Amino acid sequence: MRTRLVTVLLALITAILVIPGPAATADEQGGETLQGQIRNPDDRDQGVEGITIQVFDGEDETGAAETDPEGNWVVELPGPGTYRVVVDQDSVPAEFAVRETAILVDGETEVEVEAGDQRPLIIALESAGGGDEPSGTQSPSDADSETPEDGDAASEEGDVAPASGGTFGSRFIQLTAAGLLFGLVIAISAIGLSLIFGSTKMINFAHGDMVTFGAMVALVFSSGAAGMGNSLLAIFAGLGGAILIGALLETRLSRTALIVAQWSSIVAGIALATVLGVLGDAVGWKVPLWIAAGIAVVMGAVLGASMERYLWRPLRRRHVALIQMFIVSIGLALILRHVILVLFGADRSRYAGFQIQEVVRLGPIAMPPRDLVIMGVAVVVLVLVACLLQFTRIGKAMRAVSDNRDLAESSGIDVDRVTLYVWGLGGGLAALGGVLYGLNQVVQYEMGFRLLLMMFAAVILGGLGTAYGAMVGGIAVGLVAMLSTLWFPSQLMQAWALALMILMLLFRPQGLLGRAERVG
């Protein structure tokens, strides 16, 4: 009964969070633009000058621009709305042609612009002889010609807008692939959220910001770790040392000795961070993205374990009610989000070397290599997590604690230690989800908060407290969100995913893989 009530409460909170705020007033609107850069497909460092870009609102032209010597163009818009962008084919040099995608057909595409958007739009060229030459200017998923921004729900939730060109079948297959990609990212991120609820019956509203944290950390270390990056690494090394001391020596040391050892590790990390902060860029280094992702996963695991050890465990021992812990988690989410904003800034960034890639075509599906890597990594990680939970001793203990915490404790399982491992696993997976999401989208301080709504839908759809349910629910939510754009505006993507969650609550409250509970 309690699980069902919590599920309904979570659904209500999710519905409230997803309701958009009041529309901006006329004084608040303004500054909307479309902009981009058209580059030479044979020389990536050279722009193409003299190409005319026209923007229409219905049949009325609202603006036009011509690319400068660097290939840059900007069109100012009268306000938010849906605009038709047309590339003047006659202005394209004879040796080039506009490369068509599932969205950009005959040099035209539609763009959704919201208040305050300064929307970058990537338009690809290819050699006039055909599509054999690499254009290198494809968009994030190369199913459209847009890069993701806040104002476009489609690009926020999977880099694919409603397909307007090609046959229905080809668009369906393309959006299915995009939905599977989006769903795998949601599943990776949501496993920890579901396991944490199963082991503690608490909904962690800070989970989305843990996703952002992972993306930001990977960005810092892959772009050159100096100053702030080194300091963060030192602080988390100290925290990680304290967590390991507590996990390994808690039963072997006296309480006083344990506290001294843990705080010594934390203070040592802070001292090292101070020294590295003073040295600044003098101690700079850079690693490939896959190593940066590994660092982010470890730091995410330390962040999750630190939350459990120094915040949630003391609150549980003081018998703080669940509703109060919900409120604390909301406050923690706000703190994390704004600390990330202060440390990393509000700029939107992409991982270096993965911004522009030539697409790989698999029949009717066109995806850049990075999206294929994301899908491959996500599938491998999901299989590994399933094997961990199914075949290892700690995995079986996690499932036992998730099924019945009291019974697991009476059976001799160290519930506190297992819960610590659950938070560490959840934090690491959230960080990995952030890296994968940032690789497909853009990295910015609110990215995890926006994904949090879809994670809630996934865990409710699959069944609260079950990792396998989060996997299935995440893929289902991603597919529904993307395929809905075949018939409905992209702004309703989240709405349809949440509608699926509501239907599940009406007809199967325990979720797809959850177990029905006896009431009364």
Residue-wise pLDDT tens digits, 102-147 = 566 777 888 877 776 777 777 878 776 544 433 333 333 333 333 3
- Structural domain contains residue 50: yes
**Residue 120 forms part of a structural domain:** yes
- Tokens representing 519 are 């009431």
Specify if 56 maps to a domain: yes
302 within domain boundaries: no
CA 367-371-375 angle, 5° bins: 120
- Cα dihedral angle (190, 461, 370, 138), rounded to 10 degrees? -130
Checking if the pLDDT of 511 tops 60, the result is: yes
**Rounded Cα gap, residues 117 and 104, in angstroms:** 21
Return the CATH number at 91.
2.60.40.10
pLDDT bracket for residue 238 (50, 70, 90): confident
pLDDT at 283: 62
Q: How far is CA 60 from the centre of its chain?
A: 37
Residue 151 has pLDDT above 60, yes or no: no
Question: At 24, phi and psi to the nearest 5?
Answer: -65, 145
Whether 112 is covered by a domain: the verdict is yes
Query: ∠ at Cα 344 (342, 345), nearest 5°?
Result: 65
What residues does 146 pair with on adjacent strands? 121
Beta bridge partners of 61: 56
Put the strands of the sheet holding 72-76 in their side by side order: 72-76, 33-37, 118-120
Q: How confident is the model at residue 45 (pLDDT cuts 50, 70, 90)?
A: low
Give the pLDDT of residue 280.
Answer: 64
Does residue 43 belong to any structural domain of this protein?
yes
Q: Which residues pair with 349 in a beta bridge?
A: 443
Q: What is the dihedral sign for C-alpha 249, 250, 251, 252? A: positive
Confidence of residue 519 (pLDDT cuts 50, 70, 90): very low
What pLDDT is stored for residue 429 in this prediction?
A: 92
Residues listed for the chain = 520
pLDDT band at 281 (very low <50, low <70, confident <90, very high): low
**pLDDT (tens digit per residue) in 396-444:** 888 888 777 888 888 888 888 888 888 999 999 999 999 999 888 878 8
Residues 6 or more apart from 332 whose CB is under 8 A from it? Answer: 205, 206, 307, 311
Q: Which of 19-23, 253-257, 372-376 has the highest average model confidence (pLDDT)?
A: 372-376
Max Cα separation, the chain?
81
Task: Name residue 127's beta-bridge partners.
Answer: 96
Distance separating alpha carbons of residues 464 and 467, to the nearest angstrom: 8
Report which of 459, 502, 475, 489 is spatially closest to residue 3, judged by C-alpha positions: 459
Residue 239 located in a structural domain? no
Contact between 413 and 158 (Cβ < 8 Å): no
Domain with 60, as residue range(s), is 33-138
- In three-state form (DSSP H/G/I as H, E/B as E, the rest C), the secondary structure along 55-66 is EEECCEEEEEEE
Residue at 161: amino acid letter: A
Q: What is the CA radius of gyration of the chain?
A: 24
- Burial (CB < 10 A; 0-12, 13-18, 19+), residue 72, is middle
Average pLDDT value for residue range 316-323: 86
More confident residue, 41 or 473: 473
Task: Return the closest-CA partner of residue 292 out of 499, 122, 438, 511.
Answer: 438
Which of 199-208, 224-233, 244-253, 433-442 has the weakest average pLDDT?
Answer: 224-233
Q: For residue 294, what are the contacts with CB-CB under 8 A and spacing of at least 6?
A: none
Which residues, at least 6 apart from 137, have a Cβ–Cβ distance to it below 8 Å?
A: 38, 39, 41, 99, 122, 123, 124, 125, 356
Instruction: Kindly give the pairing relationship between strand 43-47 and strand 125-127.
Output: unpaired
Q: What's residue 230's pLDDT?
A: 67
Question: How, if at all, do strands 81-87 and 108-113 pair?
Answer: antiparallel
Cβ-based neighbour number of residue 278 at 10 Å: 11
Q: Report how far apart, in Å, the C-alpha atoms of 427 and of each of 194, 196, 303, 399, 490 are.
A: 12, 10, 7, 17, 30
Give first-to-last CA distance, the chain, whole Å. 8
Token pair 């068509």 is at which residue? Answer: 100
- Determine the Cα–Cα distance for residues 298 and 137; give it in Å rounded to an integer: 34
Q: Give the Å distances, CA to CA, from 299 to 214, 276, 374, 428, 432.
A: 8, 18, 20, 7, 10
Q: Which two tokens stand for residue 397?
A: 């203990």
Residue 228: per-residue pLDDT: 65
The residue to which tokens 């309701």 are assigned: 19
Distance CA 493, CA 500 (A): 11
Tell me the C-alpha distance between 62 and 54, whole Å: 8
* Closest among 235, 237, 261, 238 to 248, alpha carbons compared: 261
Neighbouring CB atoms inside 10 A of 46's CB total 13
Mean pLDDT for the chain overall: 76
Half-sphere exposure of 394 (CA within 13 A, CB side): 11
DSSP code for 186: H
pLDDT at 98 over 60: yes
Q: pLDDT band at 380, cuts 50/70/90?
A: very high
Residue 232 pLDDT grade (very low, low, confident, very high; cuts 50, 70, 90): confident
Q: Residue 356's pLDDT band (boundaries 50, 70, 90)?
A: low
* Residue among 503, 514, 495, 506 nearest 454 (CA): 495
* Greater model confidence, 173 or 5: 173
What's the CA gap between 33 and 116, in Å, rounded? 8
Residue 53 included in any domain = yes
> pLDDT higher for 14 or 396?
396
pLDDT for 137: 35
Total number of domains constituting the chain: 1
